[in-house]
Structure 1
Amino acid sequence: MTGDAASWIGPVEDRRLIDLPGLVWRSVAFQPGDAQMLDYCGGRIDLPEDLRGAVPKRRSEFLAGRLCALLALQELGVHGPIERTGRAPVWPSGAVGSISHHAGRAVAVVSRQMPALGLDCEPLMSAETLAEIGHLVMDDAERALRPEGWDAQRFGTVVFSAKEAAYKAISARLADIPDFREAHVLDITGTDLRITLRDSEIYVRHILDAGDCITLAIPD
């Protein structure tokens, strides 16, 4: 993709990170900068009022994520602003989607066909991080599901990310934020997980890409 972009953001990619029917993906690498808006290929994205005083990392993540989402929606032929409820995006009529980002990458996925989507993108955990939060991420029954050949850091990252994605997939129908331990992994087969959360059974697929774990959740 060509066009004038801020120096802190790279070219937007359209790779189908998880190849399921009816999905449109966009992702971009970026360096957090002191941005207040983003002008990309003639399209302008402004920060909402409550983020204008946020730290550069948060502002950059928001702008990069919204850029990916808007470009993905354009490919679907869906136009209109992405509103917000709290920190959650509210998608234009005719589409659902999800956005995720960390300090150097933003990813968005949208669809006309799915009932809802939950996306998460996490760098692989360090051994130190896993030792610190592993007891919050999974219980003994879930640890027993670790596939042969997976090290503890990959497994911990996948489970953490899958639960984050599962929550995002059903968050629109919840009146509160569930405790992380309310989500339970039922099984893992290859790239796929099944998770229960509240009254939902949620299918999650994951990939490892460029040092990140990317998970996509689709509720029943």
Structure 2
Amino acid sequence: MPTTAGTTAPPLFGLAEGVVLEYARLPVDGLPPLLREESRLMVGLPLARREDFRLGRAAAAKCLSVLGQRGPVLSEGRMPLFPQGVVGSISHRNGTAVCLAARSSDIRAAGVDIEIARSIPPRAARILCTERERAWLKQQPDPEQQLTALFSMKEAVYKAACGLRLAIRSFKELELPVDCYDGKVWDGIAVVHGVRLQTGGRPADRTVLTWAVARL
């Protein structure tokens, strides 16, 4: 379960067994090249999205290489479509992309999200959070950072839920196990429409990284 740095993933991020996490950052020099099918997809995107697409596919190529697989990673709507036998998720923010992937024989669905630390304003809690989550936020020493972590985790869970074809109409449907979050590392189980999702992540000074996976 290596990360880009080749370190063991669980002590860093609590990653589920069999799951690979990889990054791609600007500049693009030295990153894995896009495959022909991916290049065709990128040409059809607005200029503002092409850099993110390039970085995301580079991170995905790294994950596939670790898994002994090869792309292309295509698109299904706004979601990445990984090759047969692989499930995965991509997120990007401010010149950094991250990909989470696993063999479909190990994991049913995966979601990953990266956000800028303290980027979600407190007023957004009314829209994003359940009553229980808002009560928890009021007790936190750094509620803006914890709200960003909550939002990021909901994004990751939402992506995994989409991979399972679960219909999610509002982030308030996704009540998270806030008791499993100590402000530094997230490690718990979220239940969405009866499906158990293993969640994890780590807020840092500049970014928040979260993930969610559904096991077989």
Same fold (TM over 0.5): yes
Q: Using a 3 Å threshold, how does the CA distance of structure 1 residues 49 and 199 change in structure 2: closer, same or farther?
A: same
Q: Which amino acid aligns with 2:20?
A: V
Shift of 1:205: 0.7
Unpaired runs of 5+ residues, structure 2, are none
Aligned residue number for residue 20 of structure 2: 24
The 5-angstrom pairing of residues 61-210 of structure 1 reads 61-112=52-103, 113-126=106-119, 129-146=120-137, 150-174=141-165, 176-189=167-180, 190=182, 191-209=186-204
Q: Which amino acid aligns with 1:27?
A: Y
Q: Which amino acid aligns with 2:110?
A: L
Shift of 1:167: 0.9
Q: Which amino acid aligns with 2:80?
A: P
Distance 2:23 2:121 in 1: 26
User: Which of residues 34, 37, 40 is equivalent to 1:44?
Assistant: 34
Partners of 1:202 and 1:219 within 8 A in 2: yes
Shift of 1:24: 2.0
Q: Which amino acid aligns with 1:55?
A: L
The structure whose residues are more often helix, as a share, is: 2
Q: Which amino acid aligns with 2:117?
A: L
Q: Using a 3 Å threshold, how does the CA distance of structure 1 residues 213 and 147 change in structure 2: closer, same or farther?
A: farther
Distance 2:31 2:171 in 1: 39
Partners of 1:162 and 1:215 within 8 A in 2: yes
Q: Using a 3 Å threshold, how does the CA distance of structure 1 residues 179 and 47 change in structure 2: closer, same or farther?
A: farther
Three-state SS of the structure 1 residue aligned to 2:109 is: coil
Aligned residue number for residue 4 of structure 1: none
Aligned-residue sequence identity (percent) comes to 28
Distance 1:50 1:205 in 2: 31
Unpaired runs of 5+ residues, structure 1, are 1-11, 32-37
Shift of 1:146: 4.2
TM-score w.r.t. the length of structure 2 is 0.78
User: Which of residues 42, 55, 60 is equivalent to 2:47?
Assistant: 55
Partners of 1:166 and 1:219 within 8 A in 2: no
Partners of 2:32 and 2:62 within 8 A in 1: no
Query: Does 190-199 or 205-214 show the bigger shift?
Result: 190-199
Query: Does 95-104 or 42-51 show the bigger shift?
Result: 42-51
Structure with the bigger RCO (C-alpha within 8 Å, sep 6+) is: 2
Q: Which amino acid aligns with 2:107?
A: M
Shift of 1:200: 2.3
Distance 1:51 1:152 in 2: 41
CA RMSD of aligned residues (A): 2.7
Partners of 1:125 and 1:154 within 8 A in 2: yes
Q: Which amino acid aligns with 1:167?
A: Y
